Amino acid sequence: DQQVKQNSPSLSVQEGRISILNCDYTNSMFDYFLWYKKYPAEGPTFLISISSIKDKNEDGRFTVFLNKSAKHLSLHIVPSQPGDSAVYFCAAITQGGSEKLVFGKGTKLTVNP
């Protein structure tokens, strides 16, 4: 039961270019979305989030876009840096409902110098 899908297991970009990571969800009850970044042997680190009442949230080099009608969100990193190389997880939650985060399988981003 994949309620949150990240269809690209990996992505490779050049330093300085834009990285776009995509995420789709099926559960229309989800109303809050988060991106986590994970390095090997570490736990997921919170990166950025967006509420369903917004369609964009920006924090420095990171921007998350939400298209509710398409049940799609994306994370843009610009410019990409080698230190951004990690696995990125999309996660979703229903505010005021179930407390569990539902994760996608992750996308491994490699930023080449």
Partner 1 sequence: EPEVTQTPSHQVTQMGQEVILRCVPISNHLYFYWYRQILGQKVEFLVSFYNNEISEKSEIFDDQFSVERPDGSNFTLKIRSTKLEDSAMYFCASMGWGETQYFGPGTRLLVL
Is residue 65 involved in binding partner 1 (CB under 8 A)? no
Is residue 45 involved in binding partner 1 (CB under 8 A)? yes
Is residue 66 involved in binding partner 1 (CB under 8 A)? no
Is residue 36 involved in binding partner 1 (CB under 8 A)? yes
Q: Which residues, in sequence order, are CB contacts of 22 under 8 Å at separation 6+? A: 6, 7, 8, 72, 73, 74, 107
Coil/strand/helix, residue 18: coil
Task: Say how many C-beta atoms besides its own lie within 10 A of residue 38's C-beta.
Answer: 16
Is residue 49 involved in binding partner 1 (CB under 8 A)? yes
Is residue 64 involved in binding partner 1 (CB under 8 A)? no
Name residue, tokens 């994306």. Answer: 74
Q: CB under 8 A: which stretch of 21-29, 65-73, 76-84, 93-101 binds partner 1?
A: 93-101
